[in-house]
Each structure stands twice: as structure tokens, then as C-alpha cells.
Structure 1
Amino acid sequence: MPRRKRVEALIVGAGVAGLSAALFLRDFGVEYLIVEEALQPGGQLHEIHAPIQNYLLGIGWESDRFAAAFLNDVRTAGISILVGSPITRIAVRTKTVMRGSERYQAKTLLIATGLRRRALGVPGERELESRGVSHSANRDRTAYAGRPVVVVGGGTAAVEDALLCSEVGSQVTLLHRSSRFRARPDFLARAKKDPSIRIVRNARVRRIVGADRVEAVEYLTRGSRTVRVAKAEAIFIRVGWEPRTELLRGKLRLDRGGYIQVGWGGVTSAAGVYAAGDVCSPRWPSIANAAGQGAAAGWEIARRLGKAG
């Protein structure tokens, strides 16, 4: 039989925002529940592969150390989380979340689903994931030291990955779909001067080639039908992020990028439904912002339930 549970506050997502909200709800005596699709809590903390630079009490920490300390605090605080099962439906009007055969309903709902890496959507991308398809040169570059690689993207992350790969002796092809880069000017200037980095503008990846591992990347340039091939043993895909809001389209007010539009305290276009963290912060995705928004949303939910002043 389907399992049903009713609570005062239901939080979807166990990243920094959702967990911060849970702490406030706990302190105000609100009965809450967190549901998370991933196998472990922490959200974007597991996608950071450089030392923390902009969060107090963690400055200079390696990301793994920071995530471990954060999750230890979660356990110490006694925050209970249901993990590891895909969420199949979110009913905003009734504040109901379906998770397989399980149904959870609440008086208030907090969406803290965060972001996912934007995919290229080309053949070979999913099939060769972790077998040459990577999303972080900071983490994986040494495995391809001295070998040919491709980096895709036009932002700071992409150009920085190209520079990191060059530093370990890789021959880098940097593909960008536009003629103009959005990267930090100093990074871009270094990349242009680096003899190990070949920059190809107006390029669109067509296919990632390889049987068991990445062997090459096929791409097209604007105005040409000729398929070009860049030999590569790895491809670093750095084309940005997208909000996890596919289950909320047509149910909440979203901006053009799919981010949830919120007011103070995370209020959304639906009464009793809130959002916090990267899923509603296209301009300021960060640990600090997610923590602050989660705390504010937790406080606002407690107020709505009559448990905070």
C-alpha cells in the first residue's frame, strides 16, 4: 500500500538551503520532513572542487573537509532526511510530494532543489560519463596530464579549466558556441597567450566519440557543414547550470531561465509555498546565500504556522 505522511512543513531538497531551514523549523517546534533524491545530503557542496574562499569558519578549507564538517553538524543536530528516491510529482495546490509510492503532504512547502549541471545533449555524453566525460578539471586534470583534452564553454569556469589542463601539460582545444566569451578578462588573456590552448569560437559539439572511453570530439562551426574532429582523451563540459524546476512549470511563477521567483522570506506565487537557495538565485549562487535564504524561509514558514513572532 502507498505510504502517506502529513507534516506541518515539507522541505524538498537537502542542500544548504533546505538544511538551514530545517534548523530554524526545529528550533521553533515545527514538525518538518526533508525529502532528497540524492543518496546523501549536501546538494552542491559535493560539486565544489576548490578550497572554500567566501564562507566564514571555512575559508581555505578543502571542499571535502568543509562538506564533511557540514554534514557532521547535520547529524549532530538530529536532522532526519529521507534520501535516495526520485521525486515524481509535486502538487503545489495541495502541497503534496510523490516519491515513488509514497505520498507526503504538508501545510507548507519549501522548494530547495538547487541546480544541476547543464548538459550538451549530444551522443556519447551520458554513455561516457566518468570515462573521459568530466565536469571539473580541478578534480580530474591530473588523470589526463600530457594528453589531448577538449573543454567546452565560454565562462570563467571553462577558461579556468583550460588553463588548469595546460598547467599539467595537456594540449587543450577550447570550444565555445559564441564569438564572445563571458569569462574573467585576466583568465581569457592568459588562455589566448598560452600555446597549449587552441580556442575555437562559434563551435557546437556534435558528438563525443569513443567505445569504452573518450577518443575524440566532433564539432561544427557556424556557417559550415563540415564536421571537424578534435582528438581528445577527455572532455570537460562547463556550460553552466540549470535549476531543478521541471516539476514546477506551470505551477509556480518562474523566470525565463526556469528559476523560481520569490519575495522576502522565500514566498512564491502560491500561498504557503516557499523557495530558497540556488533554485531561486540565478545571480548569487553561493553557500552563504543559500544558508541565509534557507534561514529566512524557515523563519517565515514558522510565522505562517503561528510558531514565530
Structure 2
Amino acid sequence: MSDNIYDVIIIGAGPGGMTAAVYTSRANLKTLLIERGVPGGQLQNTEEIENFPSYSHISGPDLAQNMFEHALKFGAEYEQANVQDIADEGNIKVVYTDNQTYKAKSIIIATGTKYKKLGIPGEEEFSGRGVSWCAVCDGAFFKEKELVVVGGGDSAVEESIFLTKFAKKVTVLHRRDRFRAQPILVERMLKNDKIEIVYDTLVNEIIGENKVSGVLLENVKTGETKTFSTDGVFEYIGMNPVSDFVKNLAITDEEGWIVTDDRMKTDIPGIYAIGDIRKEAVRQVVTATGDGCVAAIEVQHYVENLNAQLAESLS
């Protein structure tokens, strides 16, 4: 095979992808790491990490930068590009991006997730004008403002707390009567004097003129509706897999999550998936890095066996 064929292409530079790059490049595999945005994935949107071993406290962007520098330490190459398609040609996989085509003997998919949207009137219209999915990115624009956070999981709770650094008041709207977030996070939120909780409530519309001025709410138990004034809406209602580019490979379930075994293998030899994109993922930073390690070791064995087969066929 020619020198321009990589041993492995890792798609996605989140914690899992960057860990995989450390292991594959350290094993002297020719490695390319492709990321469509800023390395770090969801770490870039996380203000505080408290549960990653060896760090009792570190910001998400700082941890992402440390991981990225480590990922490139042993010679992995890096490209910023948006992967649009993958073709399985047996021993060779072809990766098509928005500006170039790459070939590799194996692929590790680590593209993670993107935020779900409410799908309500006003959401797209006011995106960037009061509607956000990233408190770390946009919180500073709302100093002394009144904000709404929609959701009931870890992200909604964590980001509502973070937003109180800037906002005068944060109202958390949750469609259920209890939070599914970690109890320690909920406890912190409930102790914050700047945060008010409204349970059993849906957001049916986001309203305003040039920017957000309020939301139309509905109580799920009584059916009562009302307009609630706010300067901004931060949405944290769950995640969707970033997997459109592998639809033709038939390795996802009906919702788009990639199905793997416990060795990170998909149904296609030489293609692996790790981290949040996996159907059975726990979706924590530490589990993504573990997935990256497992996949990298599997790739090393796969490439060694493939090279041995090719050498034997030529002898």
C-alpha cells in the first residue's frame, strides 16, 4: 500500500478520539485525527470538571487543550474538516471531507453528540439573539439579566448554576416533577438563591421582536398556559448522535446511535466507534477515554493482521 494511506483515521477530537490518537500514534501507527470544530467536543461547553482522575477541579477547555497537546505528542497528524461520507472498500476505507479525501486501513468514529432542540416557534428565529445551547460560550452576554434554562439532567443543572455568575436570576423549567440529574448537582442548584425551579412545565414558544423577550409556558398537569418574561433561553433537553455521515454503512440503530460490541467493533471489520456516539455509552469523559484506549488497541491488532495478510499474499 502507498505511503499516503493512514493506518487509522480518527474522526472526532473529543476525549475518546484524542485518547485513541495517543495510543495509536504511540504504537507507531500512521494516525490522522479529524475534527470539524474545536478539539475537545463537549468539553469546550463545560465550565467545570470535578470527576476526571487526577483533577479535583479543571475547566473543560483546559482539559481539552491538555488532551489535544498529548494527542499530537507522538506524531499523530491533525486536520480540521467536516466528514461527509465514508466508503468501505474492504481493506481500505475512504473518508470524504468537505475539502479533501483520505484513505486508511481502519477508522475510529468518535463524533459524539449535538444538542437536541425543542422544535418550537421562535427557536431558530432567535438563535444567537437570546436562544443558546452553551452557557460557557454565551453566559457573559447576559450580565444582570433574567434567564430561563430548559431541562432536568446534569447539563441543565450544571449550566443553570454557572449562569448565576452573570445573570440576576435563573429560572429552571422542567417538564417533570423531579430532576434526573446527579443528586449532588441538584443539591447545589437548590441552595443557590439566584435559581428558581418551575416543575411540570413545557415551553411551547419563544417570543420577542429583535431578541428574546419571553416564553409561552404550559403546565403539563393543568393545561394552563402563560407568558413568562425572560432575556434569554438556554436549552439542555438531551443529545442526538452526530452520525449522518455513516448512514450508508448500516452500523447505526434507528435513532442514529452506532452499535458496537464491548471491543468497540462495529459490524464492518476495521471500523470502530467510541464515546458518546455509541448506543450503549455511559457518556462521561472518563468512559470515553476508556473506549478510546480499547479501540486503539483493537486497531493495532487489526492493522498488524492486515499487514501480515498482505505481505503473505505478495510472497
Question: Normalised by the size of structure 2, how large is the TM-score?
Answer: 0.79
1:89 to 85, 89, 113: 85
Task: Choose 95-104 or 141-150, whichever is displaced more.
Answer: 141-150
Distance (Å, rounded) in 1 between the aligned partners of 2:172 and 2:67: 35
Corresponding residue of 2:211: 213
Deviation at 1:242, TM superposition (A): 2.0
Q: Aligned residues: percent identity?
A: 29
Partner of 1:71: 68
Correspondence 1:124-203 to 2 at 5 A: 124-137=122-135, 141=139, 143-163=141-161, 165=163, 170-185=168-183, 188=186, 197-203=195-201
Residue number in structure 2 paired with 1:26: 25
1:157-203 CA distance string (max 9 Å, x none): 32444455568673443322334432345655776788865544443
CA distance in 2, matches of 1:120, 1:96: 35
Query: Secondary structure of the equivalent of 2:147?
Result: strand
Which residue number in structure 1 is paired with residue 77 of structure 2?
80
Q: Flag structure 1 segments of 5+ consecutive residues without an equivalent.
A: none
> Partners of 1:227 and 1:208 in 2: how far apart?
13
Matched residue, 1:300: 298
Alpha-carbon distance in 1 for matches of 2:187, 2:21: 44
- The alpha-carbon distance between structure 1 residues 47 and 196, as it changes in their structure 2 partners (threshold 3 A), is closer
- From the superposition, tell whether residues 82 and 169 of structure 1 become closer, same or farther in structure 2 (CA, over 3 Å): closer
TM-aligned CA deviation for residue 28 of structure 1? 2.8
- 1:232 pairs with 213, 230, 233, which one? 230
Tell me the residue number matched to 2:51: 54
Tell me how far apart the structure 2 counterparts of residues 263 and 217 of structure 1 sit (CA, whole Å).
43
Distance, in Å, in 2 between the alignment partners of 1:220 and 1:151 is 15
**Partner Cα separation in structure 1 for residue 198 and residue 25 of structure 2:** 52
CA distance in 2: counterparts of 1:203 and 1:297, whole angstroms? 42
Indicate conservation of the 8 Å contact 2:120/2:206, yes or no: yes
Measured at CA, do residues 160 and 8 of structure 1 come closer, stay the same or move farther in structure 2, by a change above 3 Å?
A: closer
Paired residues of 2:45 and 2:137 also in contact (CA < 8 A): no
1:26–1:145 CA distance, 2 compared to 1 (3 A) = closer
Q: How far, CA to CA, are the matches of 1:152 and 1:264 in structure 2?
A: 34
Q: 1:142 to 1:41 in 2, by over 3 A?
A: closer
Match of 1:265, SS state, is coil
Kept in 1: contact 2:133–2:236 (CA 8 A): yes
Supply the distance in 1 between the matched residues of 2:46 and 2:250 (Cα, whole angstroms): 29
- Verify the 8 A CA contact 2:26 2:74 in the aligned structure 1: no
User: Residue 212 of structure 2: SS of its match in structure 1?
Assistant: coil
| CA–CA separation in structure 2 for the residues paired with 1:166 and 1:277 | 30
The alignment's C-alpha RMSD in Å is 3.3
- Which stretch shows the higher mean deviation, 218-227 or 267-276? 218-227
Q: 1:120 to 1:64 in 2, by over 3 A?
A: same
- Whether the 8 Å contact between 2:40 and 2:61 is mirrored in structure 1 is no
CA distance in 1, matches of 2:99, 2:129: 34
**Aligned residue pairs: how many?**
302
Q: Identify the residue that residue 16 of structure 1 maps to in structure 2.
A: 15
Q: Are the aligned partners of 1:253 and 1:261 in contact in 2 as well (CA < 8 Å)? A: yes
Is 220-229 or 74-83 further displaced after alignment? 220-229
Gaps of 5+ in 2: 309-315
